[in-house]
């Protein structure tokens, strides 16, 4: 098969007409690390106005998709590995979390510079102002640890101001069309701030269940689908409204073991958990489990019913990140205990991406690069990689 694939590639290349292409310039790697993020709005008088116009990004139309998938990285900023990526919506600004600070790119991740030595979680970037950042986290809830501090920066991460009311809250999303309304999660609750993080209301208690993932879904008004996980590891789903209130706790609905991660393509909902990828085409009422091609990275049995195989536990398992392709809703990309897997048919069948340096690495999160179709950032245990997917139907997928 390998020689057949090589032969096909040679034949295809030989048949292409000669042409010239323009690729975006590339340079030294980026920064590093943690949490989650989404949109915001120009806030109080303390918030800086957007700075000068950002440099133009590489043209998406002139960036040819690679014949086979490839990865760049781990990315570094000033000699230090990046540990996470935060995207500033609608701009070319990117932030990279470092072990001891924050890096910034103004050219869609091509070049990076350190902007802060502050040790903080990965920030959430306002969609209204790329210089407006929020950083906070929740503690290990069952251990009773002290609540982490909550900070805001209005100058692109150079300086930070503590906001006492946000202690123990991880910012996760902004209200669409009103970025001054900010949503966050804390131990066993959803929280809402309507004044850019200055004050917070605990609006959605979850009765002792941890919120292990939460997804802002598409629609006429903001709705959140959350995974609630018990101390014993059993999970179920719950819905929260635009005010952060718990509206439907689906304890008697779908149950699965482990935290799980959520994704949506706008029409369907997806969950990746320890036993495979589930899809719902009716707003979460019914779910279908798919696992074809995932045998090496999932459990073959449901731990809630049959327990776990000692062999599979020793081998390792886990699905930790899931994203849908914004340009092709049929394509899903999955971060696993052993590299990246891809589906071209809405999760029904899966195959390893085929990038050797990532094949044995745990992938913890995935983020699309908006300026380059088919490019995403994979945050792994050893750093952040910039991954170029092959085009749909091209050799390698």
Give the span between the Cα atoms of 390 and 326, in whole angstroms: 15
CB 157 within 8 A of CB 95: yes
At residue 384, the 3 state secondary structure works out as: strand
Confirm whether 393 is domain-assigned.
no
In a domain, 140, yes or no: yes
152 phi, psi to nearest 5 deg: -135, 140
Q: Distance (Å, rounded) from C-alpha 248 to C-alpha 390?
A: 40
Q: How many domains does the chain have?
A: 1
| Alpha helical stretches, state H, 111-247 | none
Per-residue pLDDT at 127: 96
Q: Are 39 and 126 in contact (CB under 8 A)?
A: yes
Is residue 13 assigned to a domain?
Answer: no
What is the rounded average pLDDT of the residues 122-142? 95
Specify whether the CB–CB gap between 92 and 47 falls below 8 A: no
pLDDT tens column, 369-379: 999 999 999 99
> Residue 142 maps to which CATH number?
2.130.10.10
Residue 334 has pLDDT above 60, yes or no: yes
Task: Give the residue among 378, 376, 374, 380 at the shortest CA–CA distance from 396.
Answer: 374
- Structural domain of 345: 28-388
Angle at 389 between CA 64 and CA 325, to 5 degrees: 100
- Digit-coded pLDDT (tens) for 56-83: 333 443 445 567 999 999 999 999 999 9
Tokens found for residue 166:
């946000």
Residue 152 lies in a domain: yes
pLDDT at residue number 345 = 98
* CA dist list (Å): 135 to 34, 151, 207: 10, 5, 25
Any domain includes 189 = yes
In the numeric block, the tokens 């996760």 are attached to: 172
In this structure, is residue 210 part of a structural domain? yes
Which pTM was predicted?
0.81
Asked if the model's pLDDT at residue 308 lies above 60, the reply is yes
Task: Tell me which H or E stretch contains 9.
Answer: helix 2-15
Average of pLDDT values for 232-252? Answer: 94
pLDDT at 47: 27
Tens-digit pLDDT profile for residues 138-175: 998 878 789 999 999 999 999 999 999 999 999 999 99
Per-residue pLDDT band at 391 (split at 50, 70, 90)? low
Cα dihedral: 218, 219, 223, 227 (round 10): -40
Residue 42 has pLDDT above 80, yes or no: no
Q: Is 333 within a domain?
A: yes
Residue-level pLDDT at 64: 52
Size of the chain in residues: 397
Q: How confident is the model at residue 180 (pLDDT cuts 50, 70, 90)?
A: very high
User: 9-28, pLDDT tens digit by residue?
Assistant: 333 333 333 333 333 333 33
Phi, psi of 356, deg, nearest 5: -60, -40
Confidence of residue 218 (pLDDT cuts 50, 70, 90): confident
For residue 396, being part of any structural domain is answered with no
- Nearest residue to 226 (alpha-carbon basis) of 207, 235, 213: 213
């Amino acid at each position: 098969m390998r020689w057949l694939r090589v032969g096909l590639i040679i034949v295809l290349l030989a048949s292409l007409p000669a042409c010239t292409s323009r690729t975006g310039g590339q340079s030294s790697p980026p920064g590093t690390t943690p949490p989650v993020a989404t949109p915001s709005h120009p806030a109080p008088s303390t918030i800086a106005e957007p700075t000068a116009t950002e440099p133009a990004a590489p043209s998406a139309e002139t960036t040819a998709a690679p014949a086979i998938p490839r990865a760049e990285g781990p990315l570094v900023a000033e000699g230090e590995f990046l540990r996470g990526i935060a995207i500033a919506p609608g701009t070319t600004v990117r932030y990279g979390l470092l072990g001891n600070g924050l890096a910034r790119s103004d050219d869609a991740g091509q070049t990076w510079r350190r902007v802060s030595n502050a040790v903080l979680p990965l920030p959430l970037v306002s969609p209204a102002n790329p210089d407006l950042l929020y950083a906070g986290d929740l503690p290990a809830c069952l251990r009773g640890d002290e609540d982490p501090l909550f900070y805001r920066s209005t100058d692109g991460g150079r300086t930070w101001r503590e906001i006492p009311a946000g202690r123990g809250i991880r910012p996760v999303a902004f209200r669409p069309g009103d970025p001054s309304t900010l949503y966050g999660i804390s131990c066993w609750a959803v929280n809402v701030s309507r004044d850019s993080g200055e004050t917070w209301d605990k609006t959605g208690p979850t009765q002792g269940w941890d919120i292990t993932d939460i997804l802002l879904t598409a629609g006429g008004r903001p709705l959140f689908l959350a995974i609630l996980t018990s101390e014993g590891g059993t999970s179920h789903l719950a819905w929260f409204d635009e005010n952060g209130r718990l509206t439907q706790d689906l304890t008697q609905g779908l149950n699965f073991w482990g935290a799980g991660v959520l994704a949506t393509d706008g029409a369907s909902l997806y969950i990746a958990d320890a036993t495979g990828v589930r899809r719902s085409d009716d707003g979460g009422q019914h779910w279908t489990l798919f696992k074809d091609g995932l045998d090496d990275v999932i459990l073959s049995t449901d731990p809630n019913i049959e327990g776990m195989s000692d062999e599979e536990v020793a081998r390792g398992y886990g699905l930790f990140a899931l994203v849908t392709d914004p340009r092709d809703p049929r394509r899903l990309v999955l971060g696993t205990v052993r590299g990246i897997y891809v589906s071209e048919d809405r999760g029904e069948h899966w195959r390893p991406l085929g990038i050797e340096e990532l094949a044995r690495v745990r992938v913890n999160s995935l983020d699309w690069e908006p300026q380059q179709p088919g490019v995403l950032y994979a945050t792994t245990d050893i750093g952040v990689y910039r991954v170029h997917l092959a085009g749909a139907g091209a050799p390698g997928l």
